[in-house]
């Protein structure tokens, strides 16, 4: 395990089922947001394209040499095995979530309906909070079908009876609303019989409308500085929106499928305490470098096993 100085977070290398069980020693009911971006049941192994750091002088093409490295395996004997694996992690994560916390599982339309049923079984239907559609634009593929241009993010709250952490995000007003009402806040007006009348405007500037559950956010461009070469890397803008809405500064954000460390880097930048787990050496190498570039300093590595004498091993400070 790598521990960040100043209690800013930690990175654990290994299978997340074991690591999540071990984190229960000191993180039970302390995590405000858990974001899971597991492999998507693609049936193949995925490679990262990493810079080796040396110039490829002898060859034309890019100045920096790049090589492909095995990143992670996404081959399963069956869908049932895949779902069982996700379910085992969700059960452990439920224990780590604070009563006001929530979990977001990022999947694609091939599996989202199965994962929705699984999550409802584990958290309870009344804890299901939202299905967010992340809509993106990408190069069209040749297919006798509508282009697949969205992922699905399923969110459950830990406890339906506790007010969840939710900082309302806003999105811009529709062009037609702006044309009719301008940029001032509208006030809903009701007739005596309770029917809606024409709204009026106030002096106050509008923040926009409370964010809906369909998000249009661009994928990472091939030439973007954000791109790490890790397969399935998610855009920082997506994680920023989730983290700002679903956690406060100083709270703990967990990503047990950390990959290139997108969640962790954004969480650190936004003053949250990050906890990342991944079993891929390549992933953790990229995530560590990314966090260090964002100003996080790591102290010496240490073993990941749980406490031996009842004392918690990890040291994320408890808030007063």
Ligand X SMILES: C[S@@+](CC[C@H](N)C(=O)[O-])C[C@H]1O[C@@H](n2cnc3c(N)ncnc32)[C@H](O)[C@@H]1O
Distance from chain centroid for Cα 67: 27
Residue 276 in contact with ligand X, rule: CB under 6 A = no
Whether 275 and 298 have beta carbons less than 8 Å apart is answered as: no
Look-up of token digits 């993010």: 153
Radius of gyration, CA atoms only, the chain:
22
Instruction: Please state, in angstroms and rounded to a whole number, the distance separating the CA atoms of residues 82 and 115.
Output: 10
Q: Which is nearer to ligand X, 102 or 263 (CB)?
A: 263
Q: Which residue has the tokens 């790490």?
A: 228
How far apart are CB 156 and ligand X at their closest, in Å? 19
With CB under 6 A as the rule, give the number of residues binding ligand X: 19
Instruction: Kindly indicate which of the ranges 58-66, 170-178, 279-287, 302-310 contains the residues binding ligand X, using the contact rule CB under 6 A.
Output: 279-287
The CB-of-298 to ligand X minimum distance in angstroms stands at 19
Work out the number of other CB atoms within 10 angstroms of the CB of residue 270. Answer: 16
CA angle (268 as vertex; 265, 274 as ends), nearest 5: 90
CA atoms lying within 13 Å on the CB side of residue 83: 15
Instruction: Kindly give, in sequence order, each residue whose CB lies less than 8 Å from that of residue 57, ignoring residues fewer than 6 positions away.
Output: none
Which residue in the set 104, 129, 277, 296 belongs to the binding site for ligand X (CB under 6 A)? 277
Residues between 222 and 261 that touch ligand X (CB under 6 A):
230, 232-234, 257, 259-260
d(C-alpha 165, C-alpha 167), whole Å:
7
Q: Is 288 in the site for ligand X (CB under 6 A)?
A: no
* One of 2, 4, 23, 37 touching ligand X (CB under 6 A): 37
Q: Quick check: 94 binds ligand X (CB under 6 A)?
A: no
Q: Print the binding letters for residues 52-91 with ligand X: x by CB under 6 A, - otherwise.
A: --------------------x-------------------
Between residue 171 and residue 190, which ones bind ligand X under the rule CB under 6 A? none
Q: Which residues bind ligand X (CB under 6 A)?
A: 15-16, 37-39, 72, 230, 232-234, 257, 259-260, 262, 277-280, 283
């Amino acid at each position: 395990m790598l521990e960040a100085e100043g209690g800013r977070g930690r990175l654990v290398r290994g299978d997340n089922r074991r690591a999540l069980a071990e984190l229960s020693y000191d993180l039970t009911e302390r995590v405000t947001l858990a974001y899971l971006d597991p492999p998507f049941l693609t049936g193949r192994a995925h490679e990262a394209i990493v810079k080796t750091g040396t110039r490829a002088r002898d060859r034309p093409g890019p100045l920096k040499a790049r090589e492909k490295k095995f990143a992670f395996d996404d081959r399963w004997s069956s869908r049932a095995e895949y779902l069982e694996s996700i379910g085992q992690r969700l059960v452990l994560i439920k224990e780590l979530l604070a009563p006001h916390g929530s979990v977001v599982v990022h999947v694609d339309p091939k599996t989202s309906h199965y994962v929705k049923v699984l999550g409802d079984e584990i958290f309870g239907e009344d804890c299901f909070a939202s299905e967010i559609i992340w809509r993106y634009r990408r190069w069209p593929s040749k297919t006798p079908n509508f282009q697949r241009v969205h992922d699905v993010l399923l969110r459950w709250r830990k406890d339906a009876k506790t007010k969840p952490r939710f900082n309302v995000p806003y999105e811009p007003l529709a062009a037609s609303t702006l044309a009719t009402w301008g940029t001032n806040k509208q006030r809903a007006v009701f007739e005596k019989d309770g029917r809606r009348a024409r709204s009026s405007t106030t002096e106050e500037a509008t923040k926009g409308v409370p964010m809906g559950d369909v998000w249009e956010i661009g994928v990472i461009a091939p030439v973007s500085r954000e791109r790490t070469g890790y397969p399935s890397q998610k855009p920082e803008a997506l994680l920023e929106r989730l983290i700002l809405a679903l956690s406060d500064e100083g709270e703990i954000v967990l990503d047990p499928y950390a990959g290139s460390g997108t969640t962790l880097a954004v969480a650190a930048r936004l003053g949250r305490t990050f906890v990342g787990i991944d079993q891929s050496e390549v992933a953790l190498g990229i995530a560590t470098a990314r966090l260090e570039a964002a100003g996080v300093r790591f102290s010496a590595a240490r073993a990941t096993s749980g406490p031996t004498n009842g004392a918690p091993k990890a040291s994320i400070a408890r808030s007063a």
